[in-house]
A and B are shown apart, each in its own frame.
Chain A
Amino acid sequence: MADARTPILRLANVEKRYGDTLILDRLSLEVPAGQRLAIIGPSGSGKSTILRLIKGLEPFQAGAIEVAGEPLRPPRSASWFARRPAARSHMVGMVFQHFNLFPHMTALGNVAEALARVLGLTRRDAEARARDLLAQVGLGGKEASYPRELSGGQQQRVAIARALAMRPQVMLFDEVTSALDPELVGEVLGVIRTLSRESGMTMLLVTHEMGFAREIADRVLFMEKGRIVEDAAPSQLFTAPQSERTRAFLRAVLER
């Protein structure tokens, strides 16, 4: 069982390939409970893949991933049929770049669905809690709207409420503002900021928003080619990066 010193997430020598392409190169990482970890790096560096493996969305070839001290068995194959989630999977929530809301359900239905089906709440209780969660992300009054009737920012906030509904201890944010129009980024970041201030949730954020990463994170990883190049506090990594690669990346991103 997990004691206070057990990291809530542990990746040990995780290797992930697509065919011949190496995506994660024997990557090891420990995340203590409550930490806000930002992962930055060029596209194709494997940063989103880390999140996808932790949530069990994809198999990996070698190494081990533990959630609160329990090993996560990778999904057996690419088939989605009759697959069972790992024991600790429910501790991990995920928000996607493209929201992935269920288009045939209202905002309320999207949030209430897993409350009813997975946590076993009655429809009524599930909807009451979903209503609270929508209010929490500033979407009170939008319960009956379908995803297509909402802006990108609103959709992403529904997706955050949907993930929060399962009361995860770890939240994975996978480039959650990358698909948004610039003027909608702020409202989504605002929700995450509030969440990080008011909950003790562990957060992993894969992001291109350097200012936000610096503001919100306790720790920043810079990744390239499936490896962690630099792992430091934001004040260190953004102002005095040790690696030449990190410096080059930050220069390119910040001067844009």
Chain B
Amino acid sequence: MSFDFAFAWEILPDLLRGAAVTLEVMAAGFLLALAGGLALALGRRSPQTVTRLACAAFIEFMRNTPLLVQLYFLFFVLPLGGITLPPITTGILALGLNYSAFLSEVYRSGIESVPRGQWEAARALDLPARDTWRRIVLPQAIPPMLPVLGNYLIGMFKDTPLLAVITVPEMMQAAKGVAGMTYRYNEPYTLLAALFLALSLPASLLFRTLETRLRG
């Protein structure tokens, strides 16, 4: 087995195009998960029983079924109901919804770590609920969540190859394409692994620095 650097160099642009799609899907998916996770965490504290139960049910469903199954469902079953989305949108939606369930738990623990006295002080000043969340509770809940959010971001990154099964042209799909056309496997998959490492390692380090900075 030999590694042909010239060939690797030749296919690099294909893989980088895939990497761009991966990053795009991940960025959009994670933003969706951040917003959805917050909405779910707030929904679980709603005074309305229906809202609370619906949010809890959604979270349990997402956490207890495989992402791959959710992907297939969104990609193959939704069109039967008349909803057809482009593969990339479907991928973003699946990653975002799936991770929002996990992030809602991160928000929950962050929110619960804010001392009760903070709520009482806000209440004693008659701050409206909206300002209490936005100005008092969340600014204290979110900083300790950052390291955990970093882990989930990298987790999502490593889940993106699953999107290849619904034809999203991300890195995995690009590597498979090269392999399928040339019957050469060593270079594309080695390159694929190297690219994953090159992208996630800086992110890991960034969050680790952030963590030490926050604790220091």
Contacts and interface: CB of A to CB of B under 8 A. Distances in A.
Interface of A: 55-57, 76-77, 79-85, 89-90, 93-94, 96, 98, 100-104, 113-114, 117-118, 159, 162-163, 166
Contact of A55 (B117, B124, B140): B124
Contacts of B128: 117-118
B140 A104 contact: yes
Contacts, number: 72
A83 to B, nearest CB: 6
Main SS of chain A's interface residues? loop
A79 B45 contact: yes
A192 to B, nearest CB: 17
Contacts of A81: 42, 45-47, 129
A55 B126 CA distance: 10
Interface string B115-153: 101111101111111011001100110000000000000
A12 B79 CA distance: 63
B140 A82 contact: no
Nearest to A89: B126
Contacts of A114: 125-127
Interface of B: 42, 45-47, 115, 117-121, 123-129, 131-132, 135-136, 139-140
A132 B135 CA distance: 23
Q: Which 9 A/B pairs are nearest by Cβ-Cβ distance?
A: A100-B121, A100-B117, A114-B125, A94-B124, A85-B126, A117-B131, A82-B129, A81-B45, A104-B139
A80 B118 contact: no
A179 B46 CA distance: 34
A97 to B, nearest CB: 9
Contacts of A104: 139-140
A93 B124 contact: yes
Nearest to B129: A82
Given A117-B127, A162-B125, A100 B120 contact: yes
A114 B123 CA distance: 10
Given A82-B47, A118-B126, A118-B127, 5 more contacts: A56-B123, A80-B123, A81-B129, A85-B126, A162-B125
A220 to B, nearest CB: 24
Give the interface centre of B46, B131, B135 by most chain A CB atoms within 10 Å: B135
A101 B126 CA distance: 15
B125 to A, nearest CB: 4
B129 A80 contact: yes
